[in-house]
């Protein structure tokens, strides 16, 4: 279920905990920055049961193989902290990385129809991961599909340490 169209039901900031997530090579850091920029630029995000309204800040960290969503208001007041097991994402992230490698190889030498077929598979896996994220957030945080896609991209980038 997507949050209503209230313009306050959105993220205005996303930060990553360097201690639990770590830093990667410059290429990975660039991908992280782009993923965060895209997420903040356009999103629908509302913690379930929060009547105070946003906008919200999201701090992501990893603790004991769990992705921690620490949601605060603009002024820093804690709204919710949710922990999601990373286990349901492992297979789709692994498959997504493998097909991305195939896609980047195909760009160099494959025909346009082969590239398009691989890209369709890549998008399908991305959608699967996004749906899994929406299911895992159900009852905790309402997001629309586009926001789930951007968050899943960020989760993938978090796993891509180079």
pTM equals 0.85
| CA distance linking residue 39 with residue 94, whole number of Å | 22
C-alpha 104: how far from its chain's center?
21
Residue 50 within a domain: yes
pLDDT tens by residue, 104-155: 888 889 999 999 999 899 899 999 999 999 999 999 999 999 999 999 988 8
Order of strands, edge to edge, in the sheet holding 11-16? Answer: 11-16, 56-63, 66-73, 78-85
- Give pLDDT, residue 38: 92
Residue 32 within a domain: yes
Residue 139 within a domain: yes
Residue 3 within a domain: no
- Give pLDDT, residue 101: 83
Count of domains observed in the chain? 1
Residue 19 within a domain: yes
User: Residue 129 sits in which domain range?
Assistant: 11-159
**Residue 99 and residue 119 in contact, taking contact as beta carbons nearer than 8 Å:** no
Backbone φ, ψ for residue 65 (5° rounding): 60, 30
Residue 2 within a domain: no
pLDDT tens by residue, 17-65: 877 676 667 767 777 888 899 999 999 999 999 987 889 999 998 888 8
Residue 6 within a domain: no
């Amino acid at each position: 279920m997507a949050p209503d169209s209230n313009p306050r039901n959105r993220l205005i900031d996303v930060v990553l905990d360097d201690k639990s997530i770590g830093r990667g090579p410059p290429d990975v850091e660039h991908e992280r920055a782009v993923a965060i920029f895209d997420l903040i630029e356009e999103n629908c995000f509302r913690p379930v049961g929060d009547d105070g309204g946003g906008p919200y800040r999201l701090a992501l960290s990893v603790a004991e193989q769990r992705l921690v969503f620490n949601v605060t208001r603009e002024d820093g007041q804690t709204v919710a902290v949710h922990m999601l097991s990373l286990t349901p994402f492992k297979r789709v992230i692994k498959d997504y990385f493998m097909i991305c490698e195939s896609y980047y190889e195909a760009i160099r030498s494959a025909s346009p129809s082969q590239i398009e077929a691989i890209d369709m598979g890549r998008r399908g896996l991305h959608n699967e991961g996004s749906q899994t994220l929406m299911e895992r957030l159900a009852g905790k945080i309402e997001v629309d599909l586009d926001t789930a896609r951007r968050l899943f991209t960020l989760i993938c980038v978090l796993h891509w340490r180079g």
